[in-house]
Amino acid sequence: MHPPFDAAHDPTGWHGTTILCVRRGGEVAMAGDGQVTLGQTVVKGNARKVRRIGAGSKDRGGQGDVIAGFAGATADAFTLLERLESKLERFPGQLERACVELAKDWRTDRYLRRLEAMMAVADRDRSFTLTGTGDVLEPEDGLIAIGSGGNFALAAARALIEVPDLTAEEVARRAMRIAAEICVYTNHNVIVEMLRSES
């Protein structure tokens, strides 16, 4: 006998999205779909789940030097984004240090421990996945995917990255299109943020 459905604790309710980060040829593309679900109901189709943060994000019209994408409860994710931005202000240019400090707080702080979200973050040099269990994971292949459609997007991106003429943005957009065709919690309204190497 199954317990009654509880939307507040349904894992698909807070992983109902897809975020994909692709690093290739001096470019970083982070893509996120726009669908917001509550349980099994679509409540919004054009949410912005990928944002630029870090140095310059306020004084240069949002052109920060770090891209962050989130899967999870929106309010929780914004709380974590604000915390990460404050860590970046404390440790400018040190994304890994900022992520580790946030992960420590996230795991040990009684309030933050209850936040239900995952984050993918990247600067021009490195990419990381952050979780509430204290994980700060850097991929070997420059690809990160989180959320309900993350595995589909990751598999597609790994295949597409083998195509020599595709840019990071093209790989991200094509992989997100494939994920949206498979995952019911992911739509085709994709937003992509880019970072390019300064060299």
What residues act catalytically?
A: 17
The length of the chain is 199
Question: How far apart (Å, rounded) are the C-alpha atoms in residues 153 and 20?
Answer: 7
Rounded to the nearest 5 percent, the helix, strand and coil shares of the chain are 35, 25, 40
Pull the structure tokens for residue 119.
């984050």
Question: How far apart (Å, rounded) are the C-alpha atoms in residues 11 and 182?
Answer: 18
Runs of H (alpha helix) within the chain: 11-14, 74-90, 95-108, 150-160, 168-182
Pull the structure tokens for residue 142.
């420059």
Question: How far apart (Å, rounded) are the C-alpha atoms in residues 149 and 199?
Answer: 33
